[in-house]
């Protein structure tokens, strides 16, 4: 998966979770709504870590 698609997923996941919770959240138990919100944010965070790993400089770090 390319970095551009990962960045798009990072932005889309919280919006998708908010859309789900906003439309059918009142019909669901609070635990499910909270789980959806937490899960999409956790996945977005994990994808952000992957993007930082891809975009980090190579191993040419100077040790001090």
Please tell me the predicted confidence (pLDDT) of residue 3: 87
Average pLDDT, the chain: 89
Count of the separate structural domains present in the chain:
1
Please tell me the predicted confidence (pLDDT) of residue 55: 78
Q: What's the gap between Cα 4 and its chain centre?
A: 14
Please tell me the predicted confidence (pLDDT) of residue 56: 72
Please tell me the predicted confidence (pLDDT) of residue 8: 95
Domain hosting 31: range is 3-55
Q: Identify whether 62 is part of a domain.
A: no
Instruction: For the chain, list residues with pLDDT below 70.
Output: 57-63
Q: Identify whether 20 is part of a domain.
A: yes
Pair of tokens at residue 55: 């975009």
Please tell me the predicted confidence (pLDDT) of residue 57: 67
Hunting for tokens 């908010």 — which residue is that? 18
Backbone angles phi, psi at 44, to 5 degrees: -65, -40
Record the pTM: 0.79
Q: Identify whether 61 is part of a domain.
A: no
């Amino acid at each position: 998966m390319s970095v551009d698609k990962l960045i798009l997923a990072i932005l889309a996941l919280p919006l998708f979770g908010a859309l789900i919770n906003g439309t059918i959240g009142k019909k669901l138990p609070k635990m499910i709504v909270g789980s959806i919100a937490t899960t999409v944010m956790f996945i977005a965070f994990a994808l952000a870590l992957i993007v930082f790993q891809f975009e980090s400089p190579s191993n040419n770090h100077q040790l001090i």
